[in-house]
């Protein structure tokens, strides 16, 4: 648990991510003259070493980047597309009603993270590319103390590794689950990162690494080919926005679920949250009911916009929220279904002394993704593609070259002037828009500082990976009277631990009105730390 009790403050730059070693990497990049994009790339590479159950080279990434020179906000979609051989017929002919959640048939979308690093660096980077990967190489080569989180998930997922990566799993030390704080080395990953540092992303998508992945998957019944990797590219996209409490709230457009939180804010905007009180049943009930309505639209519309025309401007408009708001009851819980979501993701917030800001999320989807490790590469391939439907009439049905519905949603809040005010995000699948809603209302409506906004008890409605039913999970610190009032309104409650890791790892950087001083909060539910220079 992160021991921070007060926000960390700085005028020279700040980094926050869910692992302290990776935060140190990013802070050093800033100290050495790098900018926020440089630090974010170095952090993502380091997280792939020290937090491999949640992220890595085999995953996807989504970016929001505020560039101080142009005084503009940019979005970068670094998610991968389905293999050209990945068809509904192929899976059904093999007897599958759903895409397998583990194994080579789950690893059927191109990992997009590495390409996004390079595209962000080419456009905004300041330090040499090779320099940015050196800290991650050192961590992989010399070893790092295993977190309790990594040890836990390695033990949970050991059967998947034994089935799908029996001779190539770098996360089992001499075939055993590493104990917390034991030193784990990953020489295969160090060599892979070394190749990337010298050859760039081309090695991952056109060169030796791509060929390694394609050859291995072909040998075990997978679908990705070298042509799939060669065809991959990230996309610069225009962020989508709404306004709330006088601020501009920015998210990435589909295939990210970011529009869900914009809808939630539009729905709750006319209500007097301060009059309700932050710890009241009314507050929690309104947040949960707005969540349900927004997630109905998410389920109806969210997929790859290259395949389906999504009326995104309408969905995030105030007029649309006005028409939908009558469906919110302040006295009864609405009954809605939800699908299970993976939750293993890493969120990073970076601000530098030059005025640049980065909000980036990277993920391999489930814990340790597909559990497929290509021999001699040192990283696991994501299973993001298992979220595709094999029903050809489903909006998010599988099609070759298609990007799936994505839970990743980095956030940023801009002042009316256009300068950043908040950099925020979280891991947590279904919980990402809900946690962002909690943070935004606590920061913008109730005036909490970033650490307090993160520390306050959280809720989670829906189904995350491993849950059998739709329910409302509350952290145990929420008062008994509030729980009872919610039950009386029809909510089906599960009360979790006081600090529940299912609520995600949220991080926030907030700028003071002078736009120079910044303060940050890091989630105690993570292994991370906020570092101010």
Rounded to whole angstroms, the maximal C-alpha distance in the chain is: 62
Phi, psi of 360 (to 5 degrees): -140, 140
* Residue 226 Ramachandran class (φ > 0 left, ψ -120 to 50 alpha, else beta): alpha
Q: Confirm if 346 and 54 have CB atoms less than 8 A apart.
A: yes
Angle at 488 between CA 483 and CA 489, to 5 degrees: 100
Q: Which tokens is 100 given?
A: 């397998």
Asked, as a colleague might, if the bond just before 255 is cis with ω within 30 of 0, I would say yes
Q: Which tokens is 141 given?
A: 């080569």
* Order of strands, sheet of 411-414, starting from the edge strand that comes earlier in the sequence: 8-10, 518-522, 506-511, 420-426, 411-414, 247-251, 240-244
55 is catalytic: no
Report how far residue 241's alpha carbon sits from residue 218's, in angstroms, rounded to the nearest whole number.
42
Q: Which tokens is 237 given?
A: 């996209």
Task: Look at the block and give the residue holding tokens 């998610």.
Answer: 79
Report how far residue 27's alpha carbon sits from residue 42's, in angstroms, rounded to the nearest whole number.
10
The CA-to-CA distance between both ends of the chain, in Å, stands at 22
Q: Confirm if 382 and 364 have CB atoms less than 8 A apart.
A: yes
Q: Confirm if 321 and 299 have CB atoms less than 8 A apart.
A: no
Task: Pick the catalytic residue from 192, 225, 242, 345.
Answer: 345
Q: Which tokens is 333 given?
A: 């819980």
Report how far residue 323's alpha carbon sits from residue 343's, in angstroms, rounded to the nearest whole number.
32
Q: How many CB atoms lie within 10 A of CB 226?
A: 16
Q: Confirm if 281 and 482 have CB atoms less than 8 A apart.
A: yes
Report how far residue 474's alpha carbon sits from residue 68's, in angstroms, rounded to the nearest whole number.
40
Q: Confirm if 126 and 356 have CB atoms less than 8 A apart.
A: no
Of the candidates 531, 223, 169, 526, the residue with the CA atom closest to the CA atom of residue 377: 169
Report how far residue 117's alpha carbon sits from residue 205's, in angstroms, rounded to the nearest whole number.
13
Phi, psi of 266 (to 5 degrees): -60, -40
Q: How many CB atoms lie within 10 A of CB 244?
A: 20
- Under DSSP, is residue 136 helix (H, G, I), strand (E, B) or coil? helix
Q: Which tokens is 533 given?
A: 């220079």
Distances from the Cα of 9 to the Cα of 22, 35, 328, 449, 453, angstroms:
19, 18, 39, 11, 16
Q: Confirm if 264 and 328 have CB atoms less than 8 A apart.
A: no
Q: Which tokens is 105 given?
A: 């048939």
Q: Confirm if 240 and 246 have CB atoms less than 8 A apart.
A: no
Q: Which residues carry out catalysis? A: 345
């Amino acid at each position: 648990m992160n021991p921070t009790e007060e926000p960390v403050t700085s005028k020279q730059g700040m980094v926050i991510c869910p692992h302290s070693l990776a935060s140190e990497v990013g802070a050093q990049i800033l100290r050495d003259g790098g900018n926020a994009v440089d630090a974010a790339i170095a952090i993502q590479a380091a997280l792939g070493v020290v937090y491999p159950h949640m992220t890595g080279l085999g995953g996807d990434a989504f970016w929001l980047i505020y560039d101080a020179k142009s005084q503009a906000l940019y979005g970068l979609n670094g998610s991968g597309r389905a293999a050209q051989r990945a068809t509904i017929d192929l899976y059904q002919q093999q007897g599958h009603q759903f895409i397998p959640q583990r194994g080579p048939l789950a690893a059927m979308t191109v990992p997009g993270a590495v390409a996004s690093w390079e595209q962000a660096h080419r456009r905004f980077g300041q330090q040499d590319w090779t320099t940015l990967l050196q800290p991650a190489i050192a961590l992989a080569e010399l070893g790092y103390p295993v977190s309790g989180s990594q040890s836990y998930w390695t033990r949970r997922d050991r059967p998947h590794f034994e089935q799908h990566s029996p001779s190539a799993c770098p996360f089992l030390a001499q075939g055993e689950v590493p104990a917390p704080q034991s030193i784990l080395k990953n020489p295969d990953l160090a060599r892979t990162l070394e190749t990337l540092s010298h050859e760039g992303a081309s090695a991952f998508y056109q060169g030796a690494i791509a060929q390694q992945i394609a050859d291995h998957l072909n040998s075990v019944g997978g679908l990705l080919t070298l042509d799939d990797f060669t065809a991959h590219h990230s996309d610069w996209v225009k962020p989508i926005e709404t306004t709330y409490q006088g601020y501009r709230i920015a998210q990435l457009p589909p295939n990210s679920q970011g529009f869900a939180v914009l809808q939630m804010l539009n729905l709750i905007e006319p209500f007097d949250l301060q009059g309700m009180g932050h710890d009241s049943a009314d507050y929690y009930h309104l947040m949960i009911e707005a969540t349900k309505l927004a997630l109905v639209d998410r389920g109806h519309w969210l997929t790859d916009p290259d395949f389906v025309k999504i009326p995104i401007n309408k969905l995030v408009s105030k007029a649309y929220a006005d028409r939908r708001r009558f469906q919110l009851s302040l006295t009864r819980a609405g009954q809605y279904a939800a699908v299970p979501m993976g939750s293993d993701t890493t969120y990073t917030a970076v601000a530098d002394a030059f005025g640049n800001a980065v909000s980036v999320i990277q993920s391999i989807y489930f814990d340790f993704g597909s559990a497929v490790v290509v021999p001699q590469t040192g990283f696991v391939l994501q299973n993001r593609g298992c979220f595709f439907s094999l029903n050809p009439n489903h909006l998010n049905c599988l099609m070759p070259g298609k990007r799936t519905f994505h839970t990743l949603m980095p956030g940023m809040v801009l002042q009316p002037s256009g300068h950043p005010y908040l950099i925020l995000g979280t891991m947590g699948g279904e919980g990402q828009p809900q946690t962002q809603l909690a943070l935004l209302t606590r920061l913008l409506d109730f005036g909490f500082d970033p650490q307090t906004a993160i520390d306050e008890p959280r809720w989670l409605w829906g189904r995350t990976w491993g849950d059998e039913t739709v329910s409302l999970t509350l952290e145990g610190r929420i008062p008994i009277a509030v729980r009872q009032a919610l039950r009386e309104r029809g909510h089906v409650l599960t009360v979790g631990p006081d600090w529940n890791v299912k609520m995600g790892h949220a991080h926030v950087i907030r700028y003071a009105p002078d736009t120079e001083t910044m303060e940050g909060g890091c989630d105690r539910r993570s292994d991370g730390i906020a570092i101010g220079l």
